[in-house]
Amino acid sequence: MNSLVFLIQQTMIFFVPLMIVALGAMYSERSGVLNIALEGVMVFGAFWGILFINKFQATLPSGWVLFIAIIISMVMGLIFSVFHAFAAINLKADQTISSTALNTFATAFCIFFARVVQDVEQVNFKNTFRISKIPVLGDMPFIGPAFFQNTYVTTFLGILILFISSFVLYKTKFGLRLRSCGENPQAADSVGINVYKMRYIGVLISGALGGLGGLVYVIPTSTMFNSTVGGYGFLAMTVLVFGQWKPSKIFFAALFFGLTKTIGAAYSGVPFLYKLGIPDTVYKMLPYVATLLVLTFASKRAPGPAAAGQPYDKGKR
């Protein structure tokens, strides 16, 4: 039973950032812009958030530090994604290429900047944000320890974002317009929707959520940040495909990947898995192999937004 609780707590740590970033990617792709730059956006957002924590942790109360760091990460992620939006929407550039450039840029720039301000590339921080137990809820049998002990505010923030996204996408005028721009921008334009504007909004939301996801990923898993999120932004893209671009399915897809990642990272803490004697490498490869397998089955079934990846050209028929 204890292993199961441990497994669930660990899964939450990996699952929440994946879901947040995948939801971000959903906004972008639903509006018609591929955003493979999310890996870079995560790095960039997390970097500024963690740098803030590093500088102000000693002076401000920990709740405020986390709150402001979240805001900073979201804003920086948003600003970073403007470059992708500009390239993809205004200049009609190849979206994969500009994404690749931004991914390289984020890591290189953050390492460079960290070295300039503090001489080493690792940004250290103390993890003072863990909530050891939420009153009342944490006392429930099984559910309490699994979901309401050793948890983070960000976990619940992630769930909140899931519900809001689901509502926005399907129940609001904005959601309908966003989706139409990703399916048939010409038709959307013909009824007076500003395709460029909707696409900008989609990419910017994905940037904000990507930055947040970066911070949420780094805080529980480490005590220092060296400008990498280990391919997490790419995993989030897969979650999006596996989740068929729908919030509710993204939730389950992220849960699945969170679990495989947890098994890969923390199998030695689960006696049952540890005793199997399977080499370390197999566990480390697990999330990536699972991704490939899942894609194999999921790709044919869900084609995704029809116009995703194509620049919108008003003159084209």
Partner 1 sequence: MNTKKKRKMFRLNSSLLSSLIAILIGLIFGIVVLAISNPQQALNGIRTLLLGGFTAGGIKGLGNVLYYAMPIIMTGLGVGFAFQTSLFNIGGSGQFIVGAYCALLVAIRCDFPGPLGWIAPLIAGMIGGALWALLPGLLRAYLDVNIVIATIMMNYIGMYLVNFLVKNTIYDSLKNQSLPVPKGNTLPSAGLDKLFSSSMANIGIFIAIIMAVVIYILLNKTTFGYEIKACGRNRDASRYAGINEKRNIILSMMISGALVGLGGALMYLSDAGKHIKVVDVIASEGFDGIAVALLAMNNPLGIIFSAIFIAYLQVSGFYMQTYRFTYEIVDVIISVIIYFSAFSLIIKQMIDKYRLRIDKKKSGSQIPEKEV
By CB under 8 A, tell whether 9 contacts partner 1.
Answer: no
Are the C-beta atoms of 284 and 264 separated by less than 8 Å?
Answer: yes
Residues 102, 178, 229, 259: which binds partner 1 (CB under 8 A)? 102
Residues 5, 75, 79, 93: which binds partner 1 (CB under 8 A)? 93
Q: How far is the CB of 92 from partner 1 (least distance, A)?
A: 7
By CB under 8 A, tell whether 111 contacts partner 1.
Answer: yes
Nearest CA-CA partner of 217 in 52, 12, 8, 31: 12
Number of residues this chain uses to bind partner 1 (CB under 8 A): 40
By CB under 8 A, tell whether 260 contacts partner 1.
Answer: no
Q: In the window 50-89, what residues touch partner 1 (CB under 8 A)?
A: 83, 87
Distance between CA atoms of 161 and 145, rounded to whole angstroms? Answer: 23
Distance between CA atoms of 262 and 33, rounded to whole angstroms? Answer: 31
By CB under 8 A, tell whether 147 contacts partner 1.
Answer: no
Q: In the window 205-234, what residues touch partner 1 (CB under 8 A)?
A: 231, 234
- Please choose, out of 100-108, 140-148, 167-175, 212-220, the segment that lies near partner 1 by the rule CB under 8 A: 100-108
Q: How far is the CB of 115 from partner 1 (least distance, A)?
A: 4
Cβ proximity to partner 1, 92 vs 197, nearer residue: 92
Cβ proximity to partner 1, 108 vs 306, nearer residue: 108
Residues 4, 56, 63, 108: which binds partner 1 (CB under 8 A)? 108
Cβ proximity to partner 1, 141 vs 279, nearer residue: 279
Q: How far is the CB of 316 from partner 1 (least distance, A)?
A: 14
By CB under 8 A, tell whether 244 contacts partner 1.
Answer: no
Cβ proximity to partner 1, 148 vs 256, nearer residue: 256
Q: In the window 262-301, what residues touch partner 1 (CB under 8 A)?
A: 279, 281, 284-285, 288-289, 291-292, 295-296, 299-300
* Beta pairing partners, 192: none
By CB under 8 A, tell whether 127 contacts partner 1.
Answer: no
Q: Which residues bind partner 1 (CB under 8 A)?
A: 36, 83, 87, 91-94, 96-98, 100-102, 104-105, 107-109, 111-112, 115-116, 121, 231, 234, 237-238, 241, 279, 281, 284-285, 288-289, 291-292, 295-296, 299-300
